[in-house]
């Protein structure tokens, strides 16, 4: 097992390198980079007049703008070429792409992600600041999906082929097929003051006066804000676990030891929960890390944007729009690394709960 773990860890290096290399290459061809973002903001704010006043966004240095010289950047006509060069140097675009990519990999290997282009804060501190919201969403989605899918999967296995099994399978498949963000928009229209009822808040994870509330009111306020986002995500999150639970129980129910237990006169409930449950649930429980990281990833982007939840998904979306590349690449690097390690952890848990699984005898 030690050799398998070592091989998996070593394989993470080229995998991570490939992810970062492809993403970096795509970024090189994307229009509207950070230099153009600053130029656009200066133009919209009045150009040189605003720039010389000491205002502007964090991360944009106050340079003098003069002259009427065309530039390779869109919207830079009329700006001093020296100003453009200073912007390029500020964002690191005065170096060749390969050199910038190599420096990025070297810094990221030491978990040095630098500072945000447009926020006066380090990227790592910014990610740590937003992470609790996304972790909270991921934990609740995983917990709720397990609480729904395990009892449902058990009943579907016991009543395999029945009317209940057929129509619940249809509901599960339809729910899995509907994207969570579409269901989230529907919930907003129905229950967040869109066109029908105004029962739930539209934005944020807590109310503005949350600090003044008592502890019971804080808990109620938190779940009041989280009801619609979690409902939108749970609809599709429990489908895979439900079918996994059902198939795992069906496999165990058909084994000889279950037939023997029934022949001894044990009740169906005793057979199901005294013998089958322990064996069938091992594989389901082993998949918990993977289920959490999946919920953590999928719940971070669209749902956070729809419901304005200030987590990593909303941060990543705004960073892409603003071309804040340090934040974009740091998010990608951390998520990719976390996903690779969770995949390894899931494999190790599988071998722990089922010794028959031996990855040493398989090609990695």
3 state DSSP class of 115: strand
Q: What is the pTM of this model?
A: 0.72
3-state SS of 266-277?
A: CCHHHHHHHHHH
Between 300 and 231, the more confident residue is 231
The chain-wide mean pLDDT, for the chain, equals: 78
pLDDT at residue 69, as a whole number = 35
**79 pairs with which residues across the strands?**
69
User: What 3-state DSSP class applies to 200?
Assistant: coil
| 54 token code pair | 């000491």
Tell whether the model's pLDDT for residue 15 goes beyond 50. Answer: yes
Assign a CATH topology to domain 123-361: MetI-like fold (1.10.3720)
β-sheet bridge partners, residue 122: 115
What percentage of the chain carries pLDDT values higher than 90? 5
Q: Give the DSSP H or E segment for 247.
A: helix 215-253
Contact 183, 235 (CB under 8 A): yes
Please indicate whether residue 163 or residue 233 has the higher confidence score (pLDDT): 163
A 10 A CB-CB count for 118 gives: 21
| Separation between Cα atoms, residue 267 and residue 259, nearest integer Å | 12
Q: pLDDT tens across 143-192, in order?
A: 888 888 888 988 888 888 889 989 988 888 887 887 777 888 888 888 88
> Which candidate, 190, 203, 194, 197, places its Cα nearest to that of 229?
203
Q: What is the pLDDT of residues 237-258, one digit of tens each?
A: 777 788 888 888 888 888 888 8
What is the tens place of the pLDDT at every residue in 265-290?
878 788 887 778 777 777 777 677 76
Q: How buried is 48 (Cβ within 10 angstroms: 0-12 exposed, 13-18 middle, 19+ buried)?
A: middle
Q: What are the residue ranges spanned by the domains of the chain? A: 37-109, 123-361
DSSP 321-355: HHT-HHHHHHHHHHHHHHHHHHHHHHHHHHHHH-T
Q: Are 269 and 123 in contact (CB under 8 A)?
A: no
pLDDT reading at 235 higher than 80: no
79 is written with which tokens? 């700006």
Cα separation values, 127 from 176, 247, 325, 329, Å: 30, 39, 13, 12
The gap from C-alpha 172 to its chain's centroid, in whole angstroms, comes to 22
Q: Name the band, by pLDDT with cuts 50, 70 and 90, for residue 17.
A: very high
How far apart CA 183 and CA 197 sit, in angstroms, is 16
> How would residue 297 be classed by pLDDT, with cut points 50, 70 and 90?
low
Rounded Cα distance, 304 and 308, in Å: 5
């Amino acid at each position: 097992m030690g050799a398998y773990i070592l091989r998996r860890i070593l394989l993470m290096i080229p995998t991570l390198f490939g992810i970062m290399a492809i993403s970096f290459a795509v970024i090189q061809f994307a229009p509207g980079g950070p230099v153009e973002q600053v130029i656009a903001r200066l133009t919209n704010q009045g150009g040189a007049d605003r720039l010389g006043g000491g205002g502007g966004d964090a991360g944009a240095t106050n340079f003098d703008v003069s002259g009427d010289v065309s530039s390779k950047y869109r919207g830079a006509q009329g700006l001093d070429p020296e100003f453009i060069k200073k912007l390029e140097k500020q964002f690191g675009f005065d170096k060749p792409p390969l050199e910038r990519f190599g420096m990025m990999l070297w810094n990221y290997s030491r978990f040095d992600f630098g500072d945000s282009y447009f926020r006066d804060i380090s990227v790592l501190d910014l990610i740590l600041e937003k992470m609790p919201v996304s972790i909270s969403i991921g934990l609740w989605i995983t917990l709720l999906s397990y609480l729904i899918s395990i009892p449902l999967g058990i009943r579907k296995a016991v009543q395999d082929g029945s009317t209940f099994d057929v129509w619940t399978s249809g509901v599960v498949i339809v729910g899995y097929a509907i994207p969570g963000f579409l269901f989230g928009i529907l919930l907003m229209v129905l229950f967040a003051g869109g066109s029908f009822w105004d029962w739930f808040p539209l934005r944020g994870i807590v109310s503005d006066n949350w600090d003044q509330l008592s502890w019971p009111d804080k808990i109620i306020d938190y779940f009041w804000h989280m009801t619609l986002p979690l409902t939108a995500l749970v609809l599709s999150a429990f489908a895979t676990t439900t079918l996994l639970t059902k198939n795992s129980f069906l496999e165990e129910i058909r084994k000889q030891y279950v037939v023997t237990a029934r022949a001894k006169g044990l009740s169906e409930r005793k057979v199901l929960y005294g013998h089958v449950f322990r064996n069938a649930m091992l594989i389901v429980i082993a998949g918990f890390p993977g289920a959490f990281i999946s919920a953590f990833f999928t719940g971070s982007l669209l749902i956070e944007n729809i419901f304005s939840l200030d987590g990593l998904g909303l941060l990543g979306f705004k960073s892409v729009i603003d071309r804040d590349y340090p934040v974009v690449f740091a998010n990608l690097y951390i998520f990719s690394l976390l996903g690779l390690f969770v995949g390894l952890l899931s494999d190790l848990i599988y071998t722990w709960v089922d010794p028959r699984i031996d990855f040493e005898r398989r090609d990695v």
